[in-house]
Copies of this chain bind each other. A is one copy, B any other.
Amino acid sequence: MTASEVQRSSSRTDPSAPLTTGQGFAHGKAPQTRVLRPSAKVLPEHARGHNRSLVLQTLYRDGRRSRADIARQTGLTRVTVSALVADLIADGLVVELGQREETRPGKPATLLDLDRAAFVIVGLDLSEHATFSGALLDLDGAISARAEVQLAGSTGDDAVQKVLALAQQLVELATAPILGIGVGSPGVVDLGGVVLSAPNLGWNGMPLQSILADRFGLPVVVANDANAAILAEHSFGGAESDAMLIKIGHGVGAGLLLGGTPLFGSRFAAGEIGHVVVGTDGGAVCACGKRGCLETWLSIPNLIERLERPENAGDADRDAVLREAGQRLGIALAPVVGALDLGEVILSGPTELLDGPLAKATVETLRQRTMAEFHGSLTLRMTTLGQDIVLRGAAVMVLSGQLGVS
């Protein structure tokens, strides 16, 4: 059975459309600017899709449950759950595991679970400076194979070709049907997976999602790398529903999760904080022309440059540099944390630089500059997902879009 057969089994033809009506990442939220038609009509079959996702999500998160268990947990009846489960088994998404061992009165339950080996997801991370990396992930987000291509200075269509080659490698490695391809790209990406602007790659209005969908005939989701990262942190790293992830690398970007939903912004540029000016006391000149942009304080190349200066050779000097960077981050984040009432801020990037004086200074500055009574419980921590955070976020986007699960 192939992935496309799964789609056919629901008599669907559009490969990029979600299998269910779960709140898909790329398809769920319309790019509403000033909606004329406030919301769409709802048909009974939409409710069906929602409940299907609900069952799937229950199994995804808690696994090894009987139909009766699911019924109790979701509030649906056993009859309805049976019907939905039959659908899901027919689609190859759910399998019966046999009877429950546990000894208790009544007919023994037949345990179910997501067939976590039935599908794989292709995840791509385009956010590193010199390398495009990719992986095959299972439905739990575990990585079973890796691949990468060197960018070697490619931009524009050449860079697209590298993406296609990388995806091709991974598709060929797959030993199970592919549920979809998720891509975390730098820059500004709209809801249709068009990279509106990624200066380092020379992309302006590059329709990456369509290009990949046309090439592979699979569902594809393309989104900003930091947005992917915050989704990964939410699904796999235990992040709260109101959280912000700061991705510090060659540049500085952020992903925002508000009420469990990623924020895109009015021009899809939410989280682009690298060129916000920090403080009222000057700072270094930035590539963008302004003075004191967050990136001049915090990007890894800038940090390393300052750390390698002769006058910063000592441990105390090194700490001072990191502390100052952390303070600047705190100054920039304080208004955001205050205005959004965030519960959690997560840092992603090189641990050896971020997880120490820098993070400590950031959280201290945040506490000093916001209302302690409300934000005293603010958490700041490093990501627990390491370097694979974007890859795993890309998988979450596919899971969310195709199964309504996350």
Contact = CB atoms under 8 A, between A and B. Distances in A.
Interface of A: 29, 32-35, 37-44, 46-47, 50-51, 54, 57-58, 61, 73-76, 188, 240-242, 244, 254, 256, 258-261, 263-273, 275-281, 288, 290, 331-336, 338-344, 368-371, 374, 377
11 contacts: A32-B241, A32-B259, A35-B260, A39-B50, A41-B51, A41-B74, A42-B46, A46-B47, A273-B335, A278-B335, A280-B331
- Determine which residue in A29, A266, A270 has the highest number of CB atoms from chain B within 10 A of its CB, and name it: A266
How many copies make up the complex? 2
A44 B45 CA distance: 9
A89 B44 CA distance: 24
B277 A369 contact: yes
Contacts of A331: 280
A-B residue pairs, 4 tightest by C-beta: A265-B341, A266-B343, A242-B266, A277-B369
Given A47-B47, A242-B265, A273-B339, 13 more contacts: A32-B241, A33-B343, A35-B241, A39-B57, A41-B51, A42-B46, A256-B339, A273-B335, A276-B338, A277-B368, A277-B369, A290-B368, A334-B335
A344 B34 CA distance: 13
A339 B266 contact: no
Q: Do most interface residues of chain A lie in helix, strand or loop, or is the interface mixed?
A: loop
B338 A240 contact: no
Contact of A259 (B37, B264, B277, B343): B264
Contacts of A61: 38
A296 to B, nearest CB: 13
A29 B242 CA distance: 13
Given A32-B260, A38-B57, A371 B50 contact: no
